[in-house]
Amino acid sequence: MTTSSDRPPLPRTTTGARAPLPLTLLPRAPLLLALLALALLLLLAGCAPGAIGTVFQEPRAAGATPESLAPPGSAELGPADPAPAPAPAPPSDEPAIDLAAHSITDPTSPWVVVNKGRPLDPAFEPDLTTVRGYLVQPAAAPDLTALLAAADADGVHLTLRSAYRAYAKQAQVYEGWVAQLGAAEADKVSARPGHSEHQTGLGVDVGSSTQAGCDFEKCFGETVEGRWVAEHAAAFGFVVRYTPQNSAVTGYAAEAWHLRWVGRELAAYMRDTGVTTLEEVFDVPGGGYAR
């Protein structure tokens, strides 16, 4: 063990006073060195000693926002992506048509609905023109002519069996069926006068050139002419007005030979939607007579 007498004598100054103790001999030397290092760091950072908590903060300009103080280079990323817009609704498969484009009560309208509950004025007579010897409304004539020509081009030779009928003529036809079948059964196959589409000049009955015996008969639908009409009539603005499937709505037995001109737009709409009656298209009553 070293005693005080073993220590080397302390150096003295020229005046005889003792020199300061070396730092290595001071008991607080490590703490003093740490404080000196911190002071040096603060001086290098250009800050006052009391600003330790803000050494690494940049001064905020007046009105600056947190976004404007983002780290350098972050602006290159651009603004955040906006929220995705809602997915558009899927397009409707139903064809578009303005069902108010034509009257359903004007007897000259291509969309007039005539049935057992919607009679025509007995005095109504439309303007008429002739197609292959039969009278029809002028508006229907071009499409009827085109339909017959298209059938001919396909080797299917349709005949015309009936078209416009005046009120008085329809009365004769109906009475003939009453005499043959009785009133109840006649009402299923023939319109009472004033309730026939033939009076509008927009209805026609077509026949077969290969099986004439099927004209006005159920078997017409099975003839080559009947099948052609069922497939192609809509392309020329006609609908098969009375079918086995819609008898409850129309009030009549099926007539595969009875075509009603409604124009190409409505005929295509009915074909594409599968709606076969004007009553359903325009939401009007059908069925039987009120009395």
Q: What single-letter DSSP state applies at residue 18? A: B
As a whole number, mean pLDDT of residues 114-131 equals 98
Q: Is 11 domain-assigned?
A: no
Question: Looking at the predicted structure, is the pLDDT value of residue 23 above 70?
Answer: no
What stretch of H or E contains 250?
helix 247-250
Question: In this predicted structure, what is the pLDDT of residue 69?
Answer: 46
Runs of H (alpha helix) within 123-245? 141-153, 167-181, 183-189, 224-232
Mean pLDDT to the nearest integer, 217-242: 98
Q: How many residues does the chain have?
A: 291
Virtual CA dihedral for 141, 142, 144, 150, nearest 10 degrees? 160
Q: How far apart are the first and last CA of the chain?
A: 141
- Whether residue 277 lies inside any domain: the answer is yes
Look at residue 232 and tell me if it is in a domain: yes
Residue-averaged pLDDT of the chain = 83
Cβ proximity of 251 and 286 under 8 Å: yes
Q: Quick one: pLDDT at residue 109?
A: 98
> Number of folded domains in the chain?
1
Would you state the pLDDT for residue 291?
A: 78
Is residue 119 domain-resident?
no
Confidence band of 36 (pLDDT split at 50, 70, 90): confident
* Alpha carbons 158 and 149: distance in angstroms, whole number: 9
Determine the average pLDDT of the residues in 176-185: 97
For the segment 101-122, the average pLDDT, to the nearest whole number, is 98
pTM of the full structure: 0.69
- For the cut 80, the answer to whether the pLDDT of residue 274 exceeds it is yes
pLDDT digits (tens, 9 = 90+) for 48-80: 444 444 444 444 545 544 444 445 554 445 556
Q: Is residue 35 part of a domain?
A: no
Higher pLDDT, 36 or 20: 36
| Confidence check: pLDDT of 30 > 90 | no
Q: Which residue has the higher pLDDT, 85 or 2?
A: 85
The two tokens of residue 213 are 């015996």
CATH of the domain at 215: 3.30.1380.10
On whether residue 271 sits in a domain, the answer given is: yes
- Examine residue 262 and state whether it is found in any structural domain, yes or no: yes
**Torsion angle of the four alpha carbons 165, 168, 173, 177, in this order, in degrees rounded to the nearest 10:** 140
Could you tell me if residue 174 is inside a domain?
A: no
**Domain housing 153:** 129-164+201-282
Structure tokens belonging to residue 54: 């803000």
Is 60 exceeded by the pLDDT of residue 18?
no
User: Which amino acid would we find at residue 44?
Assistant: L
Nearest to 140 by CA among 97, 194, 203: 203
Local confidence band at 273 (pLDDT 50, 70, 90 cut-offs): very high
Residue 50: the pLDDT is: 47
Digit-coded pLDDT (tens) for 257-272: 999 999 999 999 999 9
User: What value does the mean pLDDT take over residues 216-226?
Assistant: 98
- Cα angle for residues 157, 160, 164 (degrees, 5° grid): 160
Residue 121 pLDDT more than 70? yes
Of the listed ranges 31-40, 145-154, 164-173, the one predicted with least confidence: 31-40
Q: What is the pLDDT of residue 226?
A: 98
- pLDDT at residue 4 tops 90: no
Q: Per-residue confidence at 15, pLDDT binned at 50, 70, 90?
A: very low
